[in-house]
Amino acid sequence: MLSQLTLFALAGSAHAALRFGCSTITVQRLDPVVEPGKIPSAHVHQIVGGNAFNATMEGDIGEKGTCTTCAYTEDFSNYWTAVMYFRHENGSYKRVPQYPNAQLGTEGKDAPDIKAGMTIYYSQKDLNSNGNQFIRAFPPGFRMTVGSPSASTASYGQSHPGLRYTCLQTILTRGGETADFPTKPCPAGIMAIHHFPACWDGKNLDSPNHQDHMYATTKGGFQEAAPCPASHPVRVAQVAYETMWNTTVFKDMWPKNSNKQPFVWSFEGNGYGTHADYLFGWKGDSLQRAMNSTCMFHKCGSPGVQGILKTQTVAEMNNCAVKKMVDEDVDGWLDRLPGQDVMPMRFRD
C-alpha cells in the first residue's frame, strides 16, 4: 500500500485523475436512465450525487442541483448501482449495509464519516499517473450504463473485465478480483467495482440500450485502457465506482447445508448481473477544468484540502438529501425483494 501511495505522489502528469467520496443520497426504486418516469422502477438502487435526482432527468443537471453528497460541490451528477441483499436460508432478505472508503473524508478524528455511498473515479491511465491523452468532459444530458441485470453467466463476466468484486480481508484490501460474488465469507465485506467504457462516439448523449454510444477498451483493475476505435474516437474519463458492502453482519447466518453463497442483487440476480448507471451533471466547465489540470486524486481537492475543484465538508455532504418518492420498506427483513413479483426463492428450489 505504502509504495503505491508514494508512486501516486511522484507521478508525472498531463491530465488530472479524480478520486472522491460521495455519501448516499437515497436508496429507492427509481431509475431515470433505464426507466425514466417510472415510479417505482423495477428494482432497488443506491444512489449518490446531486439533489436534482428524480424519476425523470432531462437537460443540464449541473444547473438544476442545489446540493450534492459528493466531495466536489460542482458535481451534481448521479451515480448508482443495484443494492446487495442477503438471502437467509429461511427465504427472507435483508439489505446489506454499505460503508465508506477508509482513505477518504479524513478531516480529523472528531469529524463525521462519509455516510455509506461510493468512491468515484475519473481517470485515464492507471493509478500511478494520469496519462497524456486529452480527456474530454461529458456534455450536459450525457448518460450511460455498464453491465446488465439480465447477465448471469461466467462468459459475460469474462468479456467485461471492468465489472468485478474484491473479497475484503481488511477494509484496505485491493486486488484479487473475481467476476462473481466471493464464495466464502469475507472478513471485511465485499467491494463491488464498476469501470465504465471511456470511448465515446462524440455525438450521442445516450443510445437505446444506453451503451452503444460508448465503447470499452477497459482492461479492468485500473490498468491503462487500449486506444479508442474509429467508431468511438473521443477519449472521455474512465469513470469507475467502488462500493463497500458490509457483509460481515451476516457471517454467522451463511446457509449450513449448501455451498451457495447467500448474496443477491436487488433484481434477484447473481454476481454476473452487476451493473451501474451514470448521469452527467457537473456544473458549467468544472469537469473540463479539472481534467485539463495535472492534479492526482487528493491534490485536486478533497474535504479539508484546497485544489482545482471546490470542496465541502463531510457534514455538508451528509446533509444533502432527496425525498423518498417510493413509499416501501427496503431495509427490514423482507419476504421478497421490492419489485420482484416472482415466487420467492424458497418455494422455487
Ligand X SMILES: *[C@@H]1O[C@H](CO)[C@@H](O)[C@H](O)[C@H]1NC(C)=O
Sign of dihedral through CA atoms 169, 161, 118, 54? negative
- Please give the backbone phi and psi of residue 167, each rounded to the nearest 5 degrees, phi first: -80, 110
Examine residue 170 and tell whether it contacts ligand X (CB under 6 A). Answer: no
Q: Does 150 bind ligand X (CB under 6 A)?
A: no
For position 173 contacting ligand X by CB under 6 A, the verdict is no
- Closest contact distance (angstroms) between CB of 47 and ligand X is 12
**Is residue 249 within the footprint of ligand X (CB under 6 A)?**
yes
Beta carbon of residue 96, minimum distance to ligand X (angstroms, whole number): 10
Q: Would you say 81 or 246 has its CB closer to ligand X?
A: 246
The C-alpha angle 92, 97, 101, rounded to 5 degrees, equals: 155
Q: Which of 174, 210, 289, 310 binds ligand X (CB under 6 A)?
A: 289
One DSSP character per residue, 97-120 reads: PEE--TTS----TTSPPP-S-EEE
Least distance to ligand X, CB of residue 99, Å? 4
Q: Which three cell numbers stand for residue 19?
A: 478520486
Residue the block writes with cell 474516437: 233
Instruction: Tell me the DSSP string of 260-287.
Output: S--EEETTS--GGG-EEEEE--B-TTHH
Rounded to a whole number of angstroms, the minimum distance from the CB of residue 158 to ligand X is: 31
In the complex, what is the shortest distance from the CB of residue 76 to ligand X, in angstroms, rounded to a whole number? Answer: 12
Q: Which of 59, 91, 229, 255 binds ligand X (CB under 6 A)?
A: 91
Least spacing, CB of residue 48 vs ligand X, in Å: 15
Q: Binding ligand X by CB under 6 A: which of 248, 294, 312, 319? A: 248
Complex with ligand X: residue 52 or 264, whichever CB lies closer = 52
Q: Is position 178 an interface residue for ligand X (rule: CB under 6 A)? A: no
Instruction: Check binding of 54 to ligand X (CB under 6 A).
Output: yes
The helix (H) or strand (E) run that includes residue 52 is none
Q: Which helix (H) or strand (E) holds 4?
A: helix 2-10
Is 205 an interacting residue with respect to ligand X (CB under 6 A)? no
Stretch near ligand X under the rule CB under 6 A, chosen from 88-96, 143-151, 223-231, 309-317: 88-96
Spatial contact of 288 and 18, defined as CB atoms under 8 Å apart:
no
Q: Contacting ligand X (CB under 6 A), which of 99, 241, 263, 297?
A: 99
Residue matched to cell numbers 484490501: 173
Cα of 283 vs its chain's centroid, Å? 20
Build a one-symbol-per-residue string for 217-246: x at contacts with ligand X by CB under 6 A, - elsewhere: -----------------------------x
Q: Minimum CB separation from ligand X for residue 146, in Å?
A: 25
Rounded to whole angstroms, how far apart are CA atoms 276 and 80? 6
Judged by CB, which is closer to ligand X: 88, or 310?
88
Among 14, 33, 60, 88, binds ligand X (CB under 6 A): 88
Q: Which residues of 25-40 are buried (b: 16+ CB within 10 A; e: fewer)?
A: bbbbbbbbbbbeeeeb
* Nearer CB in complex with ligand X: 38/88: 88
Count of CB atoms within 10 A of residue 153's CB? Answer: 13
Are 262 and 255 in contact, with CB atoms under 8 Å apart? Answer: yes
Considering the complex, what minimum distance in angstroms separates the CB of residue 17 from ligand X? 15
**Looking at beta carbons only, is 60 or 212 nearer to ligand X?**
60
- In the chain the first and final C-alpha atoms are separated, in Å, by 44
Residue 152: CB minimum distance to ligand X, A: 25
Contact between 285 and ligand X by CB under 6 A: the answer reads yes
DSSP category for residue 156:
H
Q: What separation in angstroms does the CA of 171 have from each of 159, 260, 304, 314?
A: 28, 24, 22, 20
Nearest residue (CB) to ligand X, 91 versus 176: 91
The footprint of ligand X (CB under 6 A) covers 52, 54, 56, 88, 90-92, 99, 171, 246, 248-249, 285, 288-289, 292, 322, 333
